[in-house]
Structure 1
């Protein structure tokens, strides 16, 4: 007979930020006692006006910048997707670019090929494994960047306005793809956006203003709040 008094195990958040402060060397404060938590296995979005600190926060989470104060707890296996994929795709073909991120792992050729094919299949790009990068659309390039993170077995995806340069159809295709990956592979994703229709695909959202999280929770409630603001 099961003990009804046994409480379920508490799962720690995948991303935990506490009282984070960051300022540029000239003294401009970007983040001011910023705190947030992203639950494991969920897809959350980060909203805010230009200059609110969204991209800076993502770079801090990816260890591309270092805070002056506060703490960050996050898995070391993090994949970062830039706004412009041309800033991170460095190899001539799709398959070669995904494989490039595995160089440090000293895998056999067969292991690399298996990981590359699995990752490209996850983002529906396996038929394009030999396609030159220059021949891809913007949305396909972003999916190659995501495949690189999957091939490295990243637990967390950080995406910095990945649809900013995409047309509306490619935009919604990409956000739906990430939603499916989070659910099917148990990933955690934090996605920076200013497009309110993307909130239809996430589990929760944060609103950042002047370097602080001022609201969080249900994405539809936040969407309604932002739609009421003057243009």
Structure 2
């Protein structure tokens, strides 16, 4: 059974986080952010700003040198390249793979898989080989795997980077819908300003520090001014 937390708690809390590589290169320096429960937030910044490193720290894939990270709810991550996390030969088998540790009955597993694939509109492809899927479909299978495990918080590391424009918009719209319908919390790393149309709020990183947060339109305008100034 999923542990419950007070609704007033944010889903993700990062406080005074610092991280540097062994070479001495500082990536994050006193970074703090808070993602409200049940909302879809995006994390933006120029190349080298530290956004992907921050996401990996939140996911527990890296350890910070200082600061704290608190996740209130089960956590999953969807990578830029879904081939890195899809390990089974068919859609249904891959979604079921993450349920092995829960010691569910066969019927319980089948029900979880069906519900998860229905949520991402892939129920008809349960027996489809993974290799026969498009990039956008593979990303949705990865999301279904998190839903099947009843994950409450999902991190997305530039999940549309390898997709064509139509698939990009389809995926971000699908995630927004899942957040609102299922009460999920999502933190989505991106560099595409058009994706800001779908989020509840955004964070802006520069040189390892959070320099702005909140209204997506304000952050979009700030980034556009910076881009225009560099041209």
Q: What TM-score do the two structures reach when normalised by structure 1?
A: 0.95
Cα distance, 1:75 vs structure 2: 2.8
RMSD of the alignment, in Å? Answer: 1.0
The counterpart of 1:149, out of the listed 146, 151, 154, is 146
Distance 1:158 1:122 in 2: 17
**Pair 1:49 & 2:38 matched:** no
Cα distance, 1:74 vs structure 2: 0.5
Partner SS for 2:86: coil
Distance 1:162 1:218 in 2: 22
Cα distance, 1:208 vs structure 2: 0.4
What's 2:9 paired with? 12
What's 2:3 paired with? none
Partner SS for 1:57: helix
Distance 1:202 1:97 in 2: 28
Matches within 5 A, 1:12-31: 12-31=9-28
What's 2:204 paired with? 207
Deviations 1:39-74 (A, max 9, x none): 000000000011111111111111111101001110
The counterpart of 1:79, out of the listed 57, 70, 76, is 76
Cα distance, 1:76 vs structure 2: 5.1
Distance 2:67 2:73 in 1: 18
Q: What TM-score do the two structures reach when normalised by structure 2?
A: 0.95
Deviations 1:153-192 (A, max 9, x none): 0010100000000000000000000000000000000000
Distance 2:225 2:206 in 1: 16
Cα distance, 1:10 vs structure 2: 7.2
Moved more, 48-57 or 195-204: 48-57
Distance 1:12 1:106 in 2: 30
Cα distance, 1:119 vs structure 2: 0.2
| Unmatched 5+ stretches in structure 1 | 1-8
Moved beyond 6 Å, runs of 4+: none
**Pair 1:35 & 2:32 matched:** yes
What's 1:5 paired with? none
Partner SS for 2:15: strand
| Unmatched 5+ stretches in structure 2 | 1-5
What's 2:167 paired with? 170
Distance 2:64 2:222 in 1: 30
Distance 1:122 1:76 in 2: 20
Cα distance, 1:224 vs structure 2: 1.2
